[in-house]
Each structure stands twice: as structure tokens, then as C-alpha cells.
Chains A and B, each alone.
Chain A
Amino acid sequence: MIKVIFFAALREQLGCGGTEVSAKCASTVAEVKDALGEKDEDWKNYLANNSLLCAVNHEMVQSDFIVKSGDEVAFFPPVTGG
């Protein structure tokens, strides 16, 4: 399984801090998003937001990044700390 986590506004929009996606359903970050969008139309719309960023195992990545079972994939809005 691929562990998927959400932060900040996205976490609240989805009403959920995280979930799992089968590695059989997704081989890239973009496909993880697609698999999550299949659950629910609202999820699909929120995840379609172009400003969302993605990290795999704590490294920032692009949507074509290859994911595998055991990876931690995080989706979140642009950061606003400091």
C-alpha cells in the first residue's frame, strides 16, 4: 500500500488527514491523485487544484514521480510558515 497524507486547507476540504492507495492502482503521483479522485467527486475537485504540492518520503516531487508500495505521499497547499 501507499500511505497518503493531507495537510492544512486540503486536509479540511477532504475532511480527512490521510488514507491508503493500493500500489497496484497507481505508479505515479498523478495516478495516486486519480485513484483518490475516484472515491468521490468532491475529492476529485479539491485534488485538481493546480497549486497543490506533493512530497514523497519527505522530498518535494513533480506529478510524474514514480511511487511504490511503502512510500509516504503527502499533498498540501503552498507553505505559509515563518
Chain B
Amino acid sequence: MVNILNINTPINKLAEISIQTEDFDHGVEVDLLENDNVEDGAVVTFSGRVRNNNLGLKVKGLFLEHYPDMTEKLLAEIIETAKQRWNIGRVKVIHRIGQLAIGEQIVFVGVTSKHRQDAFAANEFIMDFLKVKAPFWKKELTELGETWLEAKTSDKEKAQAWSK
């Protein structure tokens, strides 16, 4: 099953993941998921942006650090697990690093599938596991200064819920 999917998917594994400092164009990413892909009727995308508030404090910006190579490896594993669990076509995961201002895009997850259920579920699954597995760390700049964010129990529970 996985082999059949790979033959139908012209985007190779490396192109599925991008860790980058520069911004991305949501429209271009959707086009890349859709171009020459008439077998998939569903396209589900998620993008995460920098909020101006967190835990009651005004946020001025974020700094994102990551562990190069390990990040790509873990994201590839998460995508592979999603492909085994759902019947999905193309996948794209983009995560930005470095200094980000309010309103800037941080993360993009796009998934295509024949029918909507697979793309919806796989997109949420990839995002949930990215949050708890991929080695990224956020430092928040607030009115009180700089603080490294603490991991949330709710994110851990959300990822664990997929194995129930």
C-alpha cells in the first residue's frame, strides 16, 4: 500500500519537510499540494502564527531554536506513521526558526487525500506529534522579558490520545 502511494507521489521525502528562517507563501504551498494531483479531492492545511498574548502577558515576539538533523528525522518518522495509518497523498511540513514577530507564520502542515477524513485526521496527527516530539524550543519575548516556554501537559495528552 505504501509503495503504491509513493509511486503516485512525485514529491520526494526531502521535499516534504522544510526547516527555514524565511517566511513561506501559503498559496504557493497549496498549489504545490494540488498541481498535477487530480487523484486527491481533499486538501487540508494548518498554519500556526505568533500570537500577541500568552498566559495573560503581552507577547512581543518569539525566538525558535531547533536541533538540526534530528528535527528532520523525527518529522520524517511522524509523516511515515501518518502515511501508514491513513490513505493520504502528498504531505508538506514547514517549520520556521529564528526570530519571529507577532502575526508571522511559524508552522505549516498540508496533507492531501482522496476523501476529506484521511487528510483531516493525518494533518491533526502530524501537528500533534510535531508539538511533542520534534526538537524545537520557543523563547518568548514579553513585557516582562525573555522566557523559554514550558511544555504543556495538554499537548502531551493530545498526542497520547491517538494511541487510544
Contact = CB atoms under 8 A, between A and B. Distances in A.
Nearest to B127: A82
A82 B136 contact: yes
B139 interface: yes
Nearest to A58: B70
Contacts of B31: none
Contacts of B107: 81-82
- Chain B, interface size category, equals 20 to 34
B151 A82 contact: no
Contact of A74 (B48, B67, B131, B134): B67
Contacts, number: 67
Interface in A16-57: 55
Interface in B45-86: 48, 64-67, 69-70, 73
A70 to B, nearest CB: 16
Contact of B150 (A11, A55, A80): A80
A82 B137 contact: no
Contact of A81 (B69, B70, B136, B150): B136
Given A7-B135, A8-B137, A80-B150, 6 more contacts: A78-B150, A78-B151, A79-B131, A79-B133, A81-B130, A82-B136
